[in-house]
């Protein structure tokens, strides 16, 4: 149990901490153990959301009497839980004005350096959402309006929380935070192993070849300009000697596995063959898995009329790879080295963009500036978006608060995503 990330609920008395704690733990039927608290019978409980487990702590239960009213005392008495916490949920009462203690408490919590999520509680109606807007004054980017009593918004809160906390130790990903995990994907013979050789070419660049997460996988770790890249399962790239059909099928299976283990996928395309349907299939997996994709048009050295070829590729991409139209495209020759100097810097740039967190205030300025009327969505399927906040990065995930429940119409979503990409 000590391995589970701890999520601490903090707030002034009567904001609804205990109700929220009960809502998250009881309603999920996922409690496996609990411990008696000091003033409440239970202040710790294990919880689970979409397969991710964590330990929830109601710090309100640690405080007695007057000290529960004074921010510095709240933080001091909850210190132990706060020190261990992977994330802190600050609860405020959305039905009343923010109080000086709320603001002071938010300041103290910000100073802990822990990821913070603000739960604006007691928001039962859409009209009450307006008061959630006011809570930006607390300087916490992630604001989720909830009603602990009625359950409203609690799913969003849990989405946000679980996206931010680490996995329980046994399922930790292979790459450490400072490494950029890169997959080289593509059909047989597009040049994957040649590219691998170019990327690692200089023997001294290879830091280590370490076993990957699956037993027969071998990753190559490369250091360039101070950044560490983990090229996932490079043993698979060299797997040869299959029939053409087998190799084609295998390339798709391998791509799916490599994509899963990576942050960034280098989608290799053979310029002499153009963009084929299998290329698009493989690219589609990476896109759907939420990975960042860089398209590398390889064998550019063999192309005679480069202008015509790039024109042709652009047309093919518009048809087959439309969903990846945001992905950068580099023209390279893995064999001759042409264009290769741009590859690592591009990976690094994309890895940084992937980590980006856009402050809520900026997102809401964006929402005001974007003309949602222009989306080619049937009027009846459009929604009013009250505001939005970024719940997670790598890949970025956003939570939208709308007037009607249910998912966005696909064309409306696409319009919004495109505008977001353009702006940020
Ligand atoms: P705590 O002292 O911060 O733990 O707050 P409690 O969980 O004990 O709640 C304080 C009061 O607020 C109780 O009367 C709850 O019924 C009420 N409360 C909690 N959550 C909500 C909510 O979502 N909506 C409304 N209207 N009342 C709530
Ligand atoms: P893989 O099956 O994707 O790993 O592809 P390989 O790296 O084995 O390359 C397949 C063939 O394409 C080999 O004959 C390579 O020499 C050739 N090749 C790879 N990259 C280039 C390139 O940039 N230019 C040219 N002209 N040939 C290349």
- In 10 A of CB 66, how many CB atoms? 8
Locate the ligand 1 atom nearest the alpha carbon of residue 11 and give its number.
Answer: 3
**Residues 252 and 280: beta-carbon distance below 8 Å:** no
Max CA distance (Å), the chain: 81
Who has greater pLDDT, 183 or 211? 183
Task: For 109-120, write each residue's pLDDT tens digit.
Answer: 999 999 999 999
Give residue-wise pLDDT tens across range 286-309: 998 999 999 999 999 999 999 999
Residue 156's alpha-carbon distances to 67, 71, 161, 388, 401, in angstroms, are 31, 27, 9, 12, 10
What single-letter DSSP state applies at residue 271?
Answer: T
Model pTM score: 0.59
* Reported confidence tier of residue 173, pLDDT bands at 50, 70, 90: very low
Instruction: Identify the pLDDT of residue 271.
Output: 97
Q: Which ligand is closest to the CA of 269, given by its number?
A: 2
| Closest ligand 1 atom to 60 CA | 4
Burial 182-196 (b: 16+ CB within 10 A, else e): bbbbbbbbbbbbbbb
Distance 377 CA to ligand 2 centre (A): 44
Q: Place 208 in a pLDDT band, splitting at 50, 70 and 90.
A: low
More confident residue, 350 or 84: 350
**Selection from 115, 234, 229, 220 nearest residue 178 by Cα:** 229
Q: How far is CA 413 from the centre of its chain?
A: 18
Please give the radius of gyration of the chain, using alpha carbons only, rounded to the nearest integer.
Answer: 25
**259 Cβ inside 6 Å of ligand 2:** no
The finding on whether 192 has its CB within 6 A of some atom of ligand 1 is: no
Q: Pairing between strand 179-185 and 264-270?
A: parallel
pLDDT of 62 reads 67
Distance 193 CA to ligand 2 centre (A): 7
Cβ of 190 closer than 6 Å to ligand 2, yes or no, is: yes
Q: Work out the mean pLDDT of the chain and round it to a whole number.
A: 83
Among candidate residues 175, 174, 167, the one with its CA nearest the CA of residue 3: 167
What residue owns the CA closest to ligand 2's atom 2? Answer: 189
Q: Is 289 exposed, middle or buried (0-12, 13-18, 19+ CB in 10 A)?
A: middle
Residue 122 CA to ligand 1 center (angstroms) comes to: 7
Q: What is the pLDDT of residue 114?
A: 93
Q: Quick check: 273 pLDDT over 90?
A: yes
Query: Strands 85-93, 292-298: parallel, antiparallel or unpaired by DSSP?
Result: unpaired
∠ Cα 325 327 331 (to 5°):
110
């Amino acid at each position: 149990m000590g391995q589970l990330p701890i999520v601490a609920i903090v707030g002034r008395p009567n904001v609804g901490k205990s109700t929220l704690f009960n809502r998250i733990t009881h309603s999920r039927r996922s409690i496996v153990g609990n411990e008696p608290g000091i003033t409440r019978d239970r202040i710790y409980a294990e919880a689970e959301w979409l397969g991710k487990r964590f330990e929830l702590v109601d710090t309100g239960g640690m405080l007695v009497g007057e000290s529960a009213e004074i921010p510095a005392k709240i933080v001091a008495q909850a210190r132990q839980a706060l020190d261990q916490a992977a994330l802190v949920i600050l609860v405020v009462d959305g039905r009343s004005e923010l109080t000086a203690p709320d603001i002071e408490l938010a300041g103290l919590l910000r100073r802990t350096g822990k990821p913070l999520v603000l739960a604006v509680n007691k928001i039962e109606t859409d009209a009450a959402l307006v008061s959630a807007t006011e809570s930006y004054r607390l300087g916490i980017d992630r604001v989720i309006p909830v009603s602990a009593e009625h359950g409203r918004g609690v799913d969003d809160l849990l989405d946000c929380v679980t996206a931010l906390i680490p996995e329980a130790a046994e399922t930790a990903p292979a790459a450490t935070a400072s490494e950029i995990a890169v997959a080289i994907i593509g059909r047989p013979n597009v040049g994957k192993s040649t590219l691998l050789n170019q990327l690692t070419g200089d023997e001294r660049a290879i830091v280590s070849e370490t076993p990957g997460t699956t037993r027969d996988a071998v990753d190559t770790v490369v250091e360039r300009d101070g950044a560490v890249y983990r090229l996932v399962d490079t043993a698979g790239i060299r797997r040869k000697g299959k029939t053409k059909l087998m190799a084609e099928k295998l390339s798709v299976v391998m791509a799916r596995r490599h994509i899963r283990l990576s942050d960034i996928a280098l989608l290799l395309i053979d310029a002499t063959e153009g963009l084929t349907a299998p290329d698009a299939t493989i690219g589609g997996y990476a896109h759907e898995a939420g990975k960042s994709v860089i398209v590398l048009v390889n064998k550019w050295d063999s192309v005679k009329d480069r202008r015509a070829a790039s024109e042709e590729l652009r047309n093919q991409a518009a048809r087959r790879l439309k969903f990846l139209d945001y992905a950068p495209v580099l023209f390279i020759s893995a064999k001759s080295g042409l264009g290769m100097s741009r590859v690592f810097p591009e990976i690094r740039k994309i890895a940084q963009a992937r980590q980006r967190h856009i402050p809520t205030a900026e997102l809401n300025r964006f929402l005001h500036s974007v003309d949602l009327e222009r989306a080619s969505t049937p009027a009846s399927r459009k929604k009013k978006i009250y505001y939005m906040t970024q719940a997670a990065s790598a890949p970025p995930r956003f939570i939208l608060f709308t007037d009607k429940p249910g998912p966005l119409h696909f064309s409306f979503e696409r319009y919004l995503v495109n505008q977001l990409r353009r702006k940020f």
